[in-house]
Structure 1
Amino acid sequence: MSQNENAIKPVDSPVKEGLAGLGSAFVTIGTTYPITKLIYRQILENENAAKSLTKLRQEGYVIVYRGIMPVMVQKCLCLPTMFAVYSAATIPLKSLNMNEYLEKTCASVISGTLEAFLMPFERVQLILLMSQYNNQFRNMFHLIRVMAKDYGFKEFFRGYTTILTRNICSNCCFFLTKSELQKRFDNADHVYMKHMQNFVYGALVGTLITVLMYPLKVAKVHIQKDLGGKYRNLLEVSREIYQTNSRGMINFYRGIEVNTLKGLLSWGITNSSYEWIKHRL
Structure 2
Amino acid sequence: MMDSEAHNKRSPILTSPSQDLSTHIADVGEIKHYFCGCCSAFNNVAITYPVQKILFRQQLYGIKTRDAILQLRRDGFRNLYRGILPPLMQKTATLALMFGLYEDLSRLLRKHVSSTPEFAIRSVAAVPAGTTEAVLTPLERVQTLLQDHKHHDKFTNTYQAFWALRCHGIAEYYRGLVPILFRNGFSNVLFFGLRGPIKEHLPTATTNSAHLVNDFICGGVLGAMLGF
Pairwise TM-score range, normalised by the shorter structure? 0.7 to 0.9
1:21/1:83 contact within 8 Å kept: yes
**Structure 2 CA distance for partners of 1:140 and 1:3, relative to 1, 3 Å:** closer
Q: CA deviation at 1:140?
A: 0.5
State the partner residue of 2:95.
79
Question: Counterparts of 1:1-281 in structure 2 under 5 Å?
Answer: 5=22, 9=26, 12-94=28-110, 95-97=112-114, 98-148=116-166, 150-185=167-202, 187-211=204-228
Q: Of the two, which has the highest radius of gyration? A: 2
Decide whether the 8 Å contact of 2:199 with 2:214 is kept in 1: no
Structure 2: how far apart are the matches of 1:18 and 1:153? 29
* Matches of 2:118 and 2:175, distance apart in 1: 35
Q: Is contact 1:109–1:171 with CA below 8 Å preserved after alignment?
A: yes
Q: What secondary structure sits across from 1:50 in the alignment?
A: helix
Aligned-pair identity (%):
29
Q: Conserved in 2, the CA contact under 8 Å of 1:13 and 1:87?
A: no
Conservation of the 8 A alpha-carbon contact between 1:14 and 1:83: no
Once the two structures are TM-superposed, the CA of residue 152 in structure 1 deviates from its matched residue by 1.4
Please give the secondary structure, in 2, of the residue aligned with 1:135.
Answer: coil
Q: Structure 2 stretches of 5 or more lacking a match?
A: 1-17
**TM-score normalised by structure 1 residue count:** 0.70
| Letter matched to residue 35 of structure 1 | V
Compute the displacement of 1:180 (Å): 1.3
Q: Displacement of 1:116 after TM fit?
A: 1.2
- Over the aligned positions, Cα root-mean-square deviation in angstroms equals 2.0
| TM-score of the aligned structures, taking structure 2 as reference length | 0.86
